[in-house]
Amino acid sequence: MELTSSPRRERAIIIQIEFGFNKRSSEPDLLEEFTELVCSSGANILETILGKQDKPIANYFIKSGKLAEIKLAVNSHDADLVIFNHDLSPSQERNLEKYLCKRVLDRTGLILDIFASRARSHTGKLQVELAQLNHLATRLVRGWSHLERQKGGIGLRGPGETQLETDRRLLALRVKSLKKRISRVHSQKKISRYARAKGNTKLVGILGYTNVGKTTLFNLLTGDEQLVANKPFATLDSITRRSGNKKLKEILFSDTVGFISNLPTHLIESFKATLDELKAADILLHIVDVSDANYKFKVSKVNKLIKDLDLEYIDQIIVYNKSDLIEARDLFSILKPEQKKVWVSAKRNLGINALEEAINFCIYGAKKYGWLFIKPSYTKIRADLFSRGRVIEEGFDSSGLIQLRVELGSKEIADLVSMSGIDFFENEPTLVEVNK
């Protein structure tokens, strides 16, 4: 009987080069993050090679001495591939593969591989494929290097070059097809956003650096059970769910792909269908792993991406997650909602009430108590207020108007009184009949 075994993990040598004479103090060592990415892809790291040089070399990216060191490590470990924590040009990638006689992968290629393994939804798979093809477009020549047709000369012209051109045309057609399909997804999402706006449903976008606890918090706020894993890009597809909390009943929460340092621009472009969901958000929850020593640096990277995505105009609440892991007292009750900063522990369900208050404040404004006078025809509004737990007591005046003693945000009140037949008074009127 033949025994089956799990596929062997690819054996990798990882490379990180520090450029410049002095390392910028603002940037922490990202080797740990890179190592986590490599392990997350399923590779087995055999050796880590570090180096320092003034600037990249045009042909091999690294100097000859470091290249020889990598070659020695590859041969001694019998490695399958070499992964650089840098973006390589197509020619550098080809030259390195030719010299090392092994597959070479750069940072973008690694991230794309992880994306491909994590995409689950139809939209996510389309976006990943588009990003992969855009990356592959400049590297097609590598696939036909065995034909030796790029040199030209007698006996070396024709089929090889023709095949390469054919591949390029096919790739271009596939990219065009993908962009068209993703464009249709954009249109569908616009219709959904229009319907949501018409129904006055609010949307809260959840974003942050990868692996900061976004999905854990998302599950807590919505009552959903999305996969939570302690690894980069565990969530790749945008997921939107209604809140499971009565106080936040009419609010939708959208969990998005995590950001990462030096995320390639064309990757962001490919994931616009997912990230455009954030542009329709009423507020953004920027989740921060406050237990991470480098959290300030990661916050700055996320803020830069927020700027690149043109999301600066949307109100943000900074949510300092994993606060239970730091030494501090009374963190969960320090700040007022209007300060738009909250300390929580999603894993231990701490500080969530403060977060809910902050969300309500940003969306609906400061709380006010008073009486609403509503025409009897506005039964839908009455039912909505009751379903959200906003009504304290109810009665009717002599003219038949519904009287509701409510707890509402100032923005909610302004929206209601703008409608004909609805008034609000902070003083308590005399009731003809009260039903508690």
**What is the DSSP code string of 375-413?**
-TT-HHHHHHHHHTT-EEEEEE-TT--EEEEEEEEHHHH
Distance from C-alpha of 45 to C-alpha of 13, rounded to nearest angstrom: 6
Reported as a single tens digit per residue, the pLDDT across 197-227 is: 555 678 888 888 888 888 888 888 888 776 5
2: confidence class by pLDDT, cuts 50, 70, 90: very low
Reported as a single tens digit per residue, the pLDDT across 245-291 is: 766 767 888 887 777 777 666 666 656 656 667 777 888 999 999 88
CB 14 within 8 A of CB 46: no
Beta sheet of 239-242, edge-to-edge order = 239-242, 251-255, 202-208, 283-289, 315-321, 341-343
According to DSSP H, which parts of 199-291 are helical?
A: 214-222, 265-270, 272-279
Distance from C-alpha of 56 to C-alpha of 20, rounded to nearest angstrom: 10
**Average pLDDT estimate for 119-125:** 71
**Average pLDDT estimate for 332-358:** 78
Residue 274 token pair: 């997912």
Reported as a single tens digit per residue, the pLDDT across 19-69 is: 875 454 445 567 888 888 888 888 888 888 888 888 888 888 988 899 999
User: Torsions phi, psi of 202, nearest 5?
Assistant: -95, 150
- Residue-level pLDDT at 373: 87
Residue 424 token pair: 């609000």
Fold identical between 11-105 and 199-364?
yes
Reported as a single tens digit per residue, the pLDDT across 368-411 is: 888 888 888 888 888 888 877 788 888 887 777 888 888 888 88
The strand ranges marked E within 179-327 are 202-208, 239-242, 251-255, 283-289, 315-321
Which helix H or strand E contains 425, and what residues bound it?
Answer: strand 422-425
Other beta carbons less than 10 A from residue 51's beta carbon = 16
- Residue-level pLDDT at 177: 80
Distance from C-alpha of 179 to C-alpha of 47, rounded to nearest angstrom: 40
- Residue-level pLDDT at 10: 84
Distance from C-alpha of 295 to C-alpha of 174, rounded to nearest angstrom: 40
Which CATH number applies to 199-364: 3.90.1330.10, 3.30.1330.10, 3.50.30.40, 3.40.50.300? 3.40.50.300
Q: Which residue has the higher pLDDT, 190 or 254?
A: 254
Q: Where are the domains of the chain?
A: 11-105, 119-183, 199-364, 367-435
Radius of gyration of the chain (CA): 28
CB 17 within 8 A of CB 51: yes
Say what percent of the chain tops pLDDT 70: 72
Beta sheet of 367-374, edge-to-edge order = 422-425, 367-374, 402-409, 391-396, 433-435
Sequence-separated (6 or more) residues with CB below 8 Å from residue 370: 405, 406, 413, 424, 425, 426, 427, 428
CATH fold label, 11-105: Rossmann fold (3.40.50)
CB 244 within 8 A of CB 222: yes
User: What are residue 407's DSSP bridge partners?
Assistant: 369
